[in-house]
Structure 1
Amino acid sequence: MNLNALALSPTRQNLWRLIFIRLLVLMAQAISVLGAWYSGWFALEWTPLLLTLGISAGVSLLSLLRLSRGWPVTEIEYGMQLLFDILVHSVLLYYAGGPTNPFASYFLVPLTIAAATLSWVFTAILASVAMVAYSLLLFWYHPLPLFEMPMRDSQINIRVIGMWLNFAMSAGLISLFVVHMAEALRKHAERLAERREQSLRDSQLLGIASVAAGAAHELSTPLSTMSVLLKDLRSDYTDPQIQEDLELLQEQVRQCKASLQQMVRSAEFNRNQPHSNQAADLWLKGLLERWQLMRPEASWQLKPLPVGPVPQLKDSPELGQSILNLLNNAADACPDNIGITLEWNAQRLRLCIRDYGPGVPLHIAEQLGTAFVTTKGKKGFGLGLFLSQAAVERIGGSVKLFNQDGGGTLTEVILPIATEDQA
């Protein structure tokens, strides 16, 4: 994966900020412990306190070293870092006065961070751990006389209970409201990003359609000229090998002319006729026969289909052309031993195209599906996958690429199954 993309990951950036906050707090805690040591005002348990601070410093340094690597930061890892902060603070409070320590409310800091950056599940877990830790500290802790108030036992208990209630209310409000506000902001940002992406994609599709329409008219004349010349050449040369090559060239020219004519006809047909449903196995076999004429050099194998009734899908020229584009990509990568698999369940169809080429470069994997981004260098225009993704996503499907351990690429196409009311 691209290191620049990793650096821009929100979870990774939040972990950097969390480690920075932890180091600042650790420095303040170390100064406080050293001040208590030299002043002699507190009879603290120095060994466990220093050991806890040392562990916190070690984990922080290891986290910084880990962030310097090109490994993705998951939400679980980020939540574990916040859990570690809560546990460290609990241990420090246990040896430093428990709930009577003025810094007992620091529990709210990791909870606030969790509520603003994590999902409600992780926030609820961290809030529960903090609540349990704070509740246990009400009964078990090393008291510090300087923090004890000169009140009767009942008054002290009321004060401590009030502090506990204040903490519980603050933790609940932060966990409930802040997480919902953060989630609403995230969803709003995602919707805006999706609309911008869809608008950009529509603009690119409109531009490509305009260029394609002009190219279709311009190509018709040279294709007709090539067809005439190939007929003349076949009449001039009688060598069987040359005749075979000329026949192949003429078949390719006919296929190009048929594709252009189909593009013009389908545009008019789509305006007046609804898409028809077709059995998935017949649809795929028809596409493979058409593709074999286009790419006679490619060798492929269709894996056995699942047993049972074959579902229907909503056929359209755009969908068929999208699958042909993906098959051509596989043949361009490696034309030998291409594996094709079709399977389904009650909700969707899954078409897999497995090639044994060099695979998708990781540094451009995230940009695939964008117009004019290609893995073929100067040989490709970057339109095939873009148009395929646009057509498949328009009917509610998806296209994904996966690099395989044994080499090559697995192209996964998810298509919705057509229902009877869509016929």
Structure 2
Amino acid sequence: MEIMSSSSPSKTPPSGSLFSALRRSSDDLTGRKNLQLLIQLRWIAMFGQFATILVVNYGFDIELPVAQMLMVLFGLLLLNAVSLLRMRLPKTIGNTELFLSLLIDVATLTMLLALSGGASNPFVFLYLLQVILGAVLLEVWSTWVILVTTTLCFGWLAWYGHPLPMPLDHSEGLFSLYIEGMFICFVLNGVLLVVFINRITRNRRQRDEHLAQLRQRAAEEEHIVRMGLLASGAAHELGTPLATLSVILGDWRHMEPFKSNGDLAQEITEMQTQVLRCKSIVSGILLSAGEARGESSEGTTVRAFLDDLVDEWRETRPVKDFSYSNEFGEDLSIVSDSALRQSIHNVLDNALEASPNWVRLSVYREGKTLLVSVADRGPGFAQAMLDNLGRPYQSSKGRPGSGLGLFLVMNVLRTLGGNLKASNLVQGGALVTLSLPLSVVALKQERGETNGD
């Protein structure tokens, strides 16, 4: 049995559709756990009350309206069956449903007490358990309604209830049936309270931690959106000057002073190459921003995608010793994703900066997951960076604005349903592993086969 409080207001979270969606999902999970708790408590109550009826009626020879009390228990059984069916529906379980469930529990307890001695029944103090559950599970107004209802029920039982034909043997202490009943009720309430309070504390702590993670994720998403808008705007602004530079350099190549000078011609060629690279970067930014999804969604395969990515990165970076192994196995048709391409480039760039002499890229498959590992022989990650992996501005470079590479990679992978892990190698250096579900990038005609592996 688990209790998760839905009555405690939380601080205003950062705005964002992601947080709202995750918060609704968290609230729905909370409501379902709370309803599951009430269902489990009813099972315990039904078995306990059934056993008590048998013991009192047949063991102590105290006459009870057994048939009517069993009908009440049958009503609880039907309520639990309906509650179990409700658990299967996708609609969110909120305060109103839990409130009505507790009211029904109070009503059934009142009927059972009315049939077994009214307010003189020592188990009348089980009303306190209903009030405590209301305080834990419900909103404030609902809790007050439960308290007023149980108070009125207690008063009605005291006014109209008929005590059971029990001997007045209170002076016998624990040998008195009434005192024994009160003792059992006290122990039962105490045990349930200890169990519930402990679970309330644990689940509230877990829920607060979960909400803190949701706030952090929403803040990171908002940060990503702002960076994306700035990058997209900058890419638009850079398009015109880059095109102008490309035209000017093309004209220079045909001018006699430059054509006759081999060194100048070579430098112009290099400048054109760098301009083309800048234009490619700008196109990649716009592509990742969703402004050219037609190109972004072209089909390819895992091997072709990674081989092209590696060739492109190797040709444009001053890497001395680069090791590349692709052990993916049977090839798979996928959608070429520019954001994923740029993410792997970012990890490779970080490894190259930390280890200019050697970088290794390994590709392999585990079940339905694509794994891409990048290793280097640099100084490795500081423990603080490993503890805060994926958060912005976590870097050992000491430059303003540094530490965004892994943050961006983490968010891209998280959006695609993947993950990123980092560790330090025993022999020195660092290892960064990107994992991505193949079902996310597989072409539509092959997704059925991928999911059915």
TM-score, normalised by the number of residues in structure 2: 0.49
Aligned residues: 272
Q: In the TM superposition, what is the alpha-carbon distance from 1:220 to its structure 2 partner?
A: 4.2
Identify which of 323, 348, 353 aligns with 2:344: 323
In 2, Cα distance between the equivalents of 1:238 and 1:203?
A: 46
8 A contact 2:372–2:434 mirrored in 1: yes
Distance 1:174 1:277, change over 3 A: farther
Mapping of 1:16-35 within 5 angstroms? none
Which residue identity is paired with 1:205? G
8 A contact 1:226–1:253 mirrored in 2: no
In 1, Cα distance between the equivalents of 2:330 and 2:410?
A: 28
Mapping of 1:178-197 within 5 angstroms? 179-180=202-203, 183-197=206-220
Distance 1:338 1:181, change over 3 A: closer
In 1, Cα distance between the equivalents of 2:272 and 2:266?
A: 10
Distance 1:344 1:155, change over 3 A: same
Mapping of 1:352-367 within 5 angstroms? 352-365=373-386
Q: Residue by residue, what CA displacement relative to the aligned partner does 1:185-206 show, whole Å, maximum 9, x if unpaired?
A: 5544443443333223222322
Identify which of 304, 311, 316 aligns with 1:282: 304
Q: In the TM superposition, what is the alpha-carbon distance from 1:351 to its structure 2 partner?
A: 0.4
Mapping of 1:399-414 within 5 angstroms? 399-414=420-435
8 A contact 1:292–1:298 mirrored in 2: no
In 1, Cα distance between the equivalents of 2:234 and 2:386?
A: 26
Q: Which moved more, 1:230-239 or 1:251-260?
A: 230-239
Q: Residue by residue, what CA displacement relative to the aligned partner does 1:97-129 show, whole Å, maximum 9, x if unpaired?
A: xxxxxxxxxxxxxxxxxxx9xxxxxxxxxxxxx
Identify which of 310, 313, 319 aligns with 1:291: 313
Q: Does 1:333 align with 2:381?
A: no
Q: In the TM superposition, what is the alpha-carbon distance from 1:413 to its structure 2 partner?
A: 1.1
Q: Residue by residue, what CA displacement relative to the aligned partner does 1:131-188 show, whole Å, maximum 9, x if unpaired?
A: xxxxxxxxxxxxxxxxxxx976746994876654343232333345555555555544
State the match for 2:325 in structure 1: 303
In 2, Cα distance between the equivalents of 1:280 and 1:268?
A: 22
8 A contact 1:230–1:250 mirrored in 2: no
In 2, Cα distance between the equivalents of 1:375 and 1:231?
A: 47
Distance 1:185 1:224, change over 3 A: same
Unpaired runs of 5+ in structure 1? 1-115, 117-149
Quote the RMSD (CA, aligned, Å): 4.2
Identify which of 374, 388, 408 aligns with 1:387: 408
SS at match of 2:431: strand
State the match for 1:204 in structure 2: 227
State the match for 1:214 in structure 2: 237
8 A contact 1:313–1:416 mirrored in 2: no
Q: In the TM superposition, what is the alpha-carbon distance from 1:295 to its structure 2 partner?
A: 1.0
Distance 1:400 1:178, change over 3 A: closer
In 1, Cα distance between the equivalents of 2:424 and 2:314?
A: 25
State the match for 1:172 in structure 2: 195
8 A contact 2:287–2:293 mirrored in 1: no
Q: In the TM superposition, what is the alpha-carbon distance from 1:262 to its structure 2 partner?
A: 5.5
Q: In the TM superposition, what is the alpha-carbon distance from 1:289 to its structure 2 partner?
A: 0.6
In 1, Cα distance between the equivalents of 2:245 and 2:309?
A: 27
Distance 1:244 1:336, change over 3 A: farther
8 A contact 1:398–1:415 mirrored in 2: yes
SS at match of 1:359: coil
Mapping of 1:98-109 within 5 angstroms? none
Q: In the TM superposition, what is the alpha-carbon distance from 1:326 to its structure 2 partner?
A: 1.6
Q: Which moved more, 1:287-296 or 1:363-372?
A: 363-372
State the match for 1:350 in structure 2: 371
How much identity, in percent, do the aligned residues show?
Answer: 22
8 A contact 1:277–1:314 mirrored in 2: yes
In 1, Cα distance between the equivalents of 2:248 and 2:313?
A: 24
8 A contact 2:419–2:436 mirrored in 1: yes
SS at match of 2:344: helix
Q: In the TM superposition, what is the alpha-carbon distance from 1:286 to its structure 2 partner?
A: 0.6
Distance 1:407 1:246, change over 3 A: farther
TM-score, normalised by the number of residues in structure 1: 0.52
8 A contact 1:374–1:380 mirrored in 2: no
Q: Residue by residue, what CA displacement relative to the aligned partner does 1:67-121 show, whole Å, maximum 9, x if unpaired?
A: xxxxxxxxxxxxxxxxxxxxxxxxxxxxxxxxxxxxxxxxxxxxxxxxx9xxxxx
In 1, Cα distance between the equivalents of 2:333 and 2:298?
A: 10
In 1, Cα distance between the equivalents of 2:429 and 2:394?
A: 19
8 A contact 1:204–1:371 mirrored in 2: no
Which residue identity is paired with 1:297? V
